[in-house]
Structure 1
């Protein structure tokens, strides 16, 4: 395998024996001067062909050590969880871990709460999430709120879902388009659909709407965080409430406050990057 471009010390753009381009993860593969021939293919841990641009951008935005932690967690998940995991789990986890650490550094008084309901429904994923949190804390020398266990649990649950283009999936895509149009109209902006933050926003919506359809929304007691966001981002909160009503029109399901918190954060990030 030919290594043609370093992304970081452990990730590189490569060309295989058939001339196909791919992204490879492996210990130290990006360290030597490129281009070069990698003779020992046992160094490769993961490969991704035709990787979405959203995930390629994550490789440059998320710190290398966070991706290393995510890879370690995914390797453990593949051992402990039965069934096939989504190949993009390493990216989704890295993005979430990075965001969680940033949130902790900026506002230590607004932790997310642990959901006993989720823990009861998904005991295997919850145990893995607990181990993962311990690993993150040891590697980064931080103390994460207990609610992060619930967040990671849902990442593992979502990753085990087999993707099928069902009527539900079609409806979700339609709703995401409607939500995007609503945000553009209310804020008077035009969202760049190829932009990184929009792809992240859509990715969050897909997982959120799947949880809602399967009645597995995250529920805890994050009233203080919601109150904080209402005051800090009052205009975004009003738009998020309209999104909440739109979701109810499509799925006849209410959005819980904890899910509303995440929506406010993502919509605000999308707004700030398109004004």
Structure 2
């Protein structure tokens, strides 16, 4: 197996003997000059195939310890859940954990409640998410709210469905995402890099947003204070989120909670901050 690009000290992009790309984990494999051949494959602890290349840059930006604990969780999911999982579960989960840690620091007053409905509907995924939260707390020495059990469980649920849009016959999800992207570009007079990993991250979160609305599992918490603060500080973000919500309401014939609008505001702000060309 040839190592062709370092991601961090213990993770690298590789090519196997069949010329297929993979992400490999192994102590110190990122240290030698690239490219090089790994002669002892026993040094490789985990491998992940078929990951979307648009996520490679994201992997470089996630702290090494977050990425590695995410990989352990995904491996556990692969062994525990009786189904195939989307290969992009690893970068998606790592990104979520990284963002959750930053969110705890920045939005300490934000409440996201544990969902007993999710636990009843998806007991295997919830049990696995409890394990994940415990592992994160031990490895990263941080206390997570119980809501992260629900959030991580939903990552597993979504990874079991390769394309959320295909599970719902009411709307063309890809078309709606394209429309929403255009609305963001028009509002902020900018161009979004639709090939970049930040856009892929936004699309992933927007699909989860749609899935919650379609399945009537929206966030309904008590985040009024934070909502009001962000609305006052970032009125353009708020106006854009409302316009997008109105478009989704029109397509899905469903009301959208204030907490879901807050969720949209956070992710619109994130993509405008990180993912514009101009």
Q: What TM-score does the superposition give when structure 2 sets the normalisation length?
A: 0.88
* Count of residues in correspondence between the two structures: 273
Q: Does structure 1 residue 55 correspond to structure 2 residue 55?
A: yes
Cα distance, 1:168 vs structure 2: 4.2
Q: Does structure 1 residue 242 correspond to structure 2 residue 243?
A: yes
Q: Does structure 1 residue 23 correspond to structure 2 residue 11?
A: no
Distance 1:236 1:150 in 2: 26
Distance 2:75 2:220 in 1: 28
Cα distance, 1:165 vs structure 2: 7.5
| Structure 2 equivalent of residue 254 of structure 1 | 255
Cα distance, 1:250 vs structure 2: 1.3
Distance 1:134 1:189 in 2: 41
| Structure 1 equivalent of residue 65 of structure 2 | 65
| Structure 2 equivalent of residue 227 of structure 1 | 228
| Structure 2 equivalent of residue 79 of structure 1 | 79
Cα distance, 1:44 vs structure 2: 4.9
Distance 2:270 2:162 in 1: 29
Uncovered stretches (5+) of structure 1, i.e. residues with no partner: none
Contact 1:113 1:147 in 2 (8 A): yes
| Structure 2 equivalent of residue 181 of structure 1 | 182
Deviations 1:176-198 (A, max 9, x none): 11111112222222223233322
* CA shift in 2, pair 1:116/1:232, >3 Å: farther
| Structure 1 equivalent of residue 266 of structure 2 | 265
Structure 1 segments of 4+ aligned residues over 6 angstroms from their partners: none
Contact 1:118 1:218 in 2 (8 A): no
Deviations 1:123-143 (A, max 9, x none): 221121111111111111111
| Structure 2 equivalent of residue 124 of structure 1 | 124
Within 5 Å, give how 1:139-154 maps onto structure 2: 139-154=139-154
* CA shift in 2, pair 1:211/1:110, >3 Å: closer
